[in-house]
Amino acid sequence: MMPAGPTGRMTLSRHILECQRRQPDATGELAVLLTQLAFAGKVFAHELRRAALVGDLGATGATNVQGEATRKLDVFGNQTIIEAFAHAEIVAAIVSEEEDEPRQIASGAKASYLLCVDPLDGSSNSDTNGVVGTIFGVYRSGQPSEARGVRSGLPGTGREQVAAGYIMYGPSTVFVYTTGDGVNGFTLDGDIGEFLLTHPDIRCPAEGRYYAVNLAAAREWPAATQAYLDSLGDPTGRSRGYSQRYSGALVADVHRALLEGGTYFYPPDRGHPDGKLRLLYECAPLAFVVEQAGGRATTGETCVLDVRIETIHQRAPLAIGSRVEIERYEQFLNTRCDCATRS
Ligand code: AHM
Ligand code: MG
């Protein structure tokens, strides 16, 4: 990577272009795709800041394909992503949490990517000025279609992602991405309208003292997961053991684990026998980012990135974060994935 220049500012656009130059067969289309995602993130960040002022909080009255109440900001986020690619001719289709079926975008020869996106992650935070995010995973692809659960044209596993990342809308707006060559984080400088490199070459600490989980469901978990939770306290009572942090936004909790170490887990429970989170646009993109930073992500049985993709809204249990902490989780579940030996 070239030095950032005399001002020390490395813009996201320049970073993407320099990554592209290191790929001899790159056509530039992935760079355009990532730049358009950043543009959508700026538009969404702007809307989130003024949502209460312009009547953009609250529900629409509709439900999405997951049976969840759709919020106005869910719709705004989804439309913003779709509009960002409507004229770009690089994305064949978008799989979105807010769309029943894959949304066909372009059919030209250059439209060679499949974009999987959760436009508004942590949507239960959106009406209370809490942290939310956008998660994305990118595949080279044809035109997927899904006739009510029948798999067609979808990638095989999350390992086929060519890029993934997230945008986190908190006190500042942060864009974190990987193209399989490490992980870098950028913070939006609102005065100049640019994401600037603030977190170069992020490495997830091997261990960490924080865990993030919704404890309200703990009695419904498998016994092994409950035993793991018990282990996070100090049985001697001499110290507190680990500390719990749970924001209600996967993006924010994984971002903490990525920077400071620790884990996030959402195991199966009575209401979610396969876990709550969706593989294509929540678990797999974050697993790609965290693995690239030296961390791990497992369903409890297998590496998240090795789960066979069957349907666009399929769910998967998730435990993600520091390598050593995920190994402890696996010890309680008596599993060990292949990716443990690869990282
Ligand atoms: P969403 O994309 O509809 O917001 O759902 C995903 C969110 C995660 O961000 C978060 O960790 C989890 O669901 C919270 O669920 P729960 O309220 O069951 O703890
Ligand atoms: Mg989500």
Q: Tell me, what's the pLDDT at 234?
A: 74
Question: Which CATH superfamily includes the segment(s) 12-199?
Answer: Fructose-1,6-Bisphosphatase, subunit A, domain 1 (3.30.540.10)
Least confident of 151-160, 242-251, 265-274, 324-333: 151-160
pLDDT in tens, 185-244: 999 999 999 999 999 999 999 999 999 999 999 999 999 999 999 999 876 666 778 999
Who has greater pLDDT, 141 or 304?
304
Who has greater pLDDT, 121 or 151?
121
Q: Tell me, what's the pLDDT at 110?
A: 77
Phi, psi of 73 (to 5 degrees): -70, -30
Q: Tell me, what's the pLDDT at 337?
A: 78
Please identify, by atom number, the ligand 1 atom nearest to the C-alpha of residue 266: 11
Domain residue ranges in the chain:
12-199, 210-333
Quick check: CB of 121 below 6 Å from ligand 1?
yes
Pocket test for ligand 1, best of 68, 245, 276 (most atoms within 8 A of CB): 276
Output the CA 179–ligand 1 centroid distance in Å. Answer: 26
Quick check: CB of 313 below 6 Å from ligand 1?
no
Output the CA 282–ligand 2 centroid distance in Å. Answer: 6
Contact 33, 163 (CB under 8 A): yes
Q: Tell me, what's the pLDDT at 88?
A: 84
Supply the pTM of this predicted model: 0.94
Residue with token string 């684990």: 257
Question: Cα dihedral angle (134, 139, 142, 147), rounded to 10 degrees?
Answer: -50
| Alpha carbons 245 and 297: distance in angstroms, whole number | 18
Residue with token string 């790159």: 26
Q: Tell me, what's the pLDDT at 6?
A: 61
Pocket test for ligand 1, best of 63, 124, 279 (most atoms within 8 A of CB): 124
Output the CA 255–ligand 2 centroid distance in Å. Answer: 14
Q: Tell me, what's the pLDDT at 191?
A: 95
pLDDT in tens, 101-148: 999 998 877 788 999 999 999 999 999 999 999 999 999 975 555 544
Q: Which ligand is nearest to the CA of 70?
A: 1
pLDDT in tens, 278-300: 999 999 999 999 999 999 999 99
User: C-alpha angle 177/180/146, rounded to 5°?
Assistant: 80
Residue with token string 């001499």: 238
Report the percentage of the chain scoring pLDDT > 90.
80
Quick check: CB of 314 below 6 Å from ligand 1?
no
Quick check: CB of 11 below 6 Å from ligand 1?
no
pLDDT in tens, 153-169: 789 999 999 999 999 99
With a CB cutoff of 8 Å and minimum separation 6, the contacts of 274 are 268, 314, 315, 316, 317
Classify domain 210-333 at the CATH topology level: D-Maltodextrin-Binding Protein; domain 2 (3.40.190)
